[in-house]
Amino acid sequence: MADGEYVLEARGVLKIFGNHVALDTVDFGLRSGEVHALLGENGAGKSTLIKILTGAYQPDGGGIYVDGAEVSLDNPLHAQTFGIGTVYQEVNLLPNRSVAENLFLGHQPRRFGFVDFRRMEADARVLLANYDLHIDPSSELGTHSVAVQQIVAIARAVQLSGKVLILDEPTASLDRNEVERLFEVVRGLKAKGLAIIFITHFLDQVFAIADRVTVLRNGKLIDTRQLDALSRTDVVRLMLGKDIAFSGATDVEPSETPDEVLLEFKSYGRRRSVLPFDLTIHKGEVIGVAGLLGSGRTEVARIMFGADPADQGEVMVNGKPTSLRRTTDAIRHGFGFCPEDRKAEGILGDLSVRENIVIALQGKLGWFRALNRDEQLEIAGRFGEAMDIRAASLDMPVKLLSGGNQQKVILSRWLATDPAFLILDEPTRGIDVGAHAEIVRTINRLREDGMAMLVISSELDEVVAYSSRIVVMRDREMVAELRGKNINPGVIVQAIANHTDEAVA
């Protein structure tokens, strides 16, 4: 390896927090004109490495080299002057300002000391045209989709730095088409010779776009490899150091004698939300819900849970007609719901892991049958262990846990109520591979224990692996129900895309 080969290089980088070694003499090299995926479980050291490469952290050992020359990056702004720019998962631009202002904030073209809006918007139009983005630069950024905002963020980063672009989980909140759009932009930048670091949890996307991959595990460099020589299993094995259970999609055998019926929804729906649907759910059954973002998947979950009450149709629980007007009705019948947006609707960030786990059970017990601290610790400890929640203490605020552990906390919260029916909305989104496997294992275990579940997921392989049946949503309508051994991702994609309902068995 010649010195000049890399635009950006880390050699033997060491970072220690307290007595925890976050990065243990890691080497990393980035060539111009490549998309380099950085992979690892949460806590593997990806973000620490990125923060060192962008100057947010200072390394405790080793060095950073730009074009072969050692540099010391004081802060992200300083890193920008070396051509290194970053786009984070949550777009950190100003949604209430115009697109043009966001592109040029801090570098606005001036005239007589005032911002020259006309020139700024003209420049913005030219700049965005490079990204095939034809939007009005004077429009508010917040009115555009997240994908467009991401592209604006990328345009800003490239404009300001222009040599190295770091994309930190840019696709986490995008749907399939938007991801493709973003990838076109990335490919265009790559063709222009930019060096791009791409961080994601989605292996599909790594294979779709990356040239090389670097895998970190527990702060150590595992390997850097050319991607075309690797299979998915190879990559997962590098990340985990072992094979994971669900990598091969195995159909769940439909039991010969279906268990007793738990729930029956008849023409159940809500105006302007979901068209009426019929669905019968048996005990010990996992219903997978597939469909594109915005197809009404989450809306179905919220109606079933009473978070948005239905305004038509009827529902029977254990054969008895009932109504689910609010979440407490559903919970009384033994329902549980893990929402899609963990941060906004799931966790109680400032409260402890213990309180987060017992809250639903306590809600069920009511105001005056309070669990005391010892009971809370016992329950939280039991589920924490069963779900393998990695928290330094059950009394630490839940917001300090990683995404995967937070998801396990919310799952534990409902398992503590001993539910009969669990609704999981994207339970594995944005969490690391280890937690992912743990949650899939839990779903399988609960099904075997006879719990009924409704699981919404964008990961088709995963839905196929654990579902007894799959319903497909399209345009706020339940358009197909797939069952039996012929469930596979191909058929689901067909059902999502198809406009005739009979096409699938």
Partner 1 sequence: MKRFQLERLANPQLLALVAVLLINWLLFPNFFRITWQDGRLFGSVIDVLNRGAPVAILAIGMTAVIATKGVDLSVGAIMAVCGAVAATMVVAGYPTPVAVIAALSVGLVCGLWNGFLVAVLDIQPIVATLVLMVAGRGIAQLITEGSIVTFNEPSLIFIGTGSFLGFPMAAVIALVLMIAVTLLVRRTAIGLFIQAIGVNRAAASLAGIHSRMLLVLVYALSGFCAAIAGIIVAADIRGADANNSGLWLELDAILAVVIGGTSLLGGKFSIPLAVVGALIIQAMNTGILVSGFRPEFNLIVKAGMIILILMLQSPLIGNALGFFKRDTRQAGSK
327 binds partner 1 (CB under 8 A): yes
Single-letter amino acid, residue 396: M
Separation of CA 179 from chain center: 13
CA–CA dist 123, 115 (Å, integer)? 13
**Alpha-carbon separation of residue 28 from 45, 206, 224, 332 (angstroms):** 12, 18, 8, 54
Q: Using CB under 8 A, which of 111, 373, 445, 483 touches partner 1?
A: 373
Alpha helical stretches, state H, 210-263:
232-240
Stretch that binds partner 1, among 22-30, 32-40, 103-111, 369-377 (CB under 8 A): 369-377
362 binds partner 1 (CB under 8 A): yes
Asked if 328 touches partner 1 (CB under 8 A), the answer is: yes
Residue type, 185: V
Which of these ranges, 149-157, 168-176, 248-256, 345-353, lies near partner 1 under the rule CB under 8 A? Answer: 345-353
DSSP state letters, 255-304: PSSPPPEEEEEEEEEETTTEEEEEEEEETT-EEEEE--TTSSHHHHHHHH
Of 195, 221, 199, 194, nearest to 62 (Cα)? 221
- The correct pick among 106, 228, 367, 502 for binding partner 1 (CB under 8 A) is 367
Q: Smallest distance from the beta carbon of 349 to partner 1, in angstroms?
A: 6
Member of 228, 253, 350, 448 binding partner 1 (CB under 8 A)? 350
Q: Does 392 bind partner 1 (CB under 8 A)?
A: no
Residue among 28 and 335 whose Cβ is closer to partner 1:
335
Residue 446 CA to residue 444 CA, distance in Å, equals 6
Tell whether residue 204 is a contact of partner 1 (CB under 8 A).
no
CB of 225 to partner 1, least distance (A): 41
Asked if 72 touches partner 1 (CB under 8 A), the answer is no
Q: Which of 359, 377, 420, 493 binds partner 1 (CB under 8 A)?
A: 359
Q: Contact, 51 vs 199, CB < 8 A?
A: no
Question: Contact between 288 and partner 1 (CB under 8 A)?
Answer: no
Shortest distance, position 238 Cβ to partner 1, whole Å: 36
Residues that bind partner 1 (rule: CB under 8 A) add up to a total of 32
Nearer Cβ to partner 1 (176/326): 326
Q: Least distance from C-beta 273 to partner 1, angstroms?
A: 17
Measured distance CA(404)–CA(356) in Å, rounded:
15
Please give the backbone phi and psi of residue 264, each rounded to the nearest 5 degrees, phi first.
Answer: -135, 120
> How many C-beta atoms surround the C-beta of residue 428 within 10 A?
23
Among 226, 368, 374, 393, binds partner 1 (CB under 8 A): 368
Residues found in the chain = 505
CA distances to 16, 167, 189, 208 from 183, rounded to whole Å, are 35, 11, 10, 9
**Per residue, what are the HEC states of 61-111?**
EEEEEECCEEECCCCHHHHHHCCEEEECCCCCCCCCCEHHHHHHCCCCCEE
Is residue 333 involved in binding partner 1 (CB under 8 A)? no
Q: For the chain, how many helices (H) and strands (E)? A: 16, 22
Does residue 366 touch partner 1 according to CB under 8 A?
yes
Please say which residue, 320 or 369, places its beta carbon nearer to partner 1: 369
- What's the closest the beta carbon of residue 45 comes to partner 1, in angstroms? 25
Q: How far is the CB of 413 from partner 1 (least distance, A)?
A: 7
Residue 139, amino acid: S
Radius of gyration of the chain measured on its C-alpha atoms: 25
Is residue 179 at the binding interface for partner 1, with CB under 8 A as the rule?
no
Near partner 1 by CB under 8 A, which window of 153-161, 254-262, 357-365, 467-475? 357-365
CB of 44 to partner 1, least distance (A): 28
- Please, which of residues 397-456 interact with partner 1 by CB under 8 A? 413
Residues that bind partner 1 in the complex, under the rule CB under 8 A? 305, 307, 327-328, 331, 337, 339, 344-352, 355, 359-360, 362-371, 373, 395, 413
